[in-house]
Chains A and B, each alone.
Chain A
Amino acid sequence: EAGVTQSPTHLIKTRGQQATLRCSPISGHTSVYWYQQALGLGLQFLLWYDEGEERNRGNFPPRFSGRQFPNYSSELNVNALELEDSALYLCASSWGGGGETDTQYFGPGTRLTVL
């Protein structure tokens, strides 16, 4: 069974640009989650999508946004990039609903570097 996949592996942008990161969940999973792993800040929850809808959002500014497509894959968009957005962005997927036995499985991440 294929795991969560993310693309690209690495992304280099300059300040003020926009970045788009992509995630494909495990087959059958309907929920997709995004996390940021920045140096010194640990893993922080960004967004949760389930069945195409945004279900929860972490403490990040609105320039972090995303969407989930009908095939349950997801995009994370970061607008007006700032130097501190440099981080590893992890995507996770689960069977869905955030229910009492929901378990998140993580992809390898996209390393975003903002110059």
Chain B
Amino acid sequence: AQSVSQHNHHVILSEAASLELGCNYSYGGTVNLFWYVQYPGQHLQLLLKYFSGDPLVKGIKGFEAEFIKSKFSFNLRKPSVQWSDTAEYFCAVNGLGGTSYGKLTFGQGTILTVHP
């Protein structure tokens, strides 16, 4: 079975601060990894994804994430946040095999509040 843990439930930052949201997963095989974002009043949107290759992936709006296989981690980063980044962020894993096939398992979400 696959599982995902996000380290923080609620993060509060000021504009221009750096952001790192932690995500760890548990799965015994090959995985695809995703970060989704839900802005207030909007639906879940894809921020970035990792399938294979370069473990540092870049997404929309200046976000990036690094896959560290040995630590089963896929942390999300942004060097300088903006007020418009206020949203809830979800880490998700898709295990490629067995009963995990096609199934996204989500972390519990991290609410990011950015103060102007």
Mark each residue of chain A from 65 to 105: 1 if its CB lies under 8 Å from any CB of chain B, else 0. 00000000000000000000000001010000010111111
Chain A residue at smallest Cβ distance from B98: A56
Which of A12-20, A21-29, A42-50 participates in binding chain B? A42-50
Bound Cα distance A1, B108 (Å): 30
B96 touches A100 (CB 8 A): yes
Q: Which residues of A contact B27 (CB under 8 A)?
A: none
Chain A residue at smallest Cβ distance from B32: A100
Q: Which residues of B contact A48 (CB under 8 A)?
A: 102-103
The winner among B30, B34, B102, B108 for most chain A CB atoms within 10 A is B102
Chain A residue at smallest Cβ distance from B4: A42
Q: Which residues of B contact A50 (CB under 8 A)?
A: 102
Which of B10-18, B39-47, B56-64 participates in binding chain A? B39-47
Which of B49, B101, B103, B106 makes the CB contact (< 8 A) with A103? B49
Question: How close is A58's CB to chain B, nearest CB, in angstroms?
Answer: 7
Q: Which residues of B contact A102 (CB under 8 A)?
A: 32, 94, 102
B45 touches A43 (CB 8 A): no
Mark each residue of chain A from 101 to 113: 1 if its CB lies under 8 Å from any CB of chain B, else 0. 1111111110000
B101 touches A55 (CB 8 A): yes
A56 touches B44 (CB 8 A): no
Q: Which residues of A contact B30 (CB under 8 A)?
A: 100
Chain A residue at smallest Cβ distance from B90: A43
Q: Which residues of A contact B (CB under 8 A)?
A: 31, 33, 35, 42-45, 48, 50, 55-56, 58, 90, 92, 98, 100-109
Residue pairs across A and B with Cβ atoms less than 8 A apart, 9 shown, are: A43-B104, A43-B106, A45-B105, A55-B101, A90-B43, A92-B104, A100-B51, A106-B43, A106-B45
A33-B102, A43-B109 known; 17 new pairs, CB 8 Å cut-off, are A31-B102, A42-B106, A45-B104, A45-B105, A48-B103, A55-B102, A56-B102, A56-B103, A58-B103, A90-B44, A92-B104, A100-B52, A102-B32, A102-B94, A106-B36, A106-B45, A107-B43
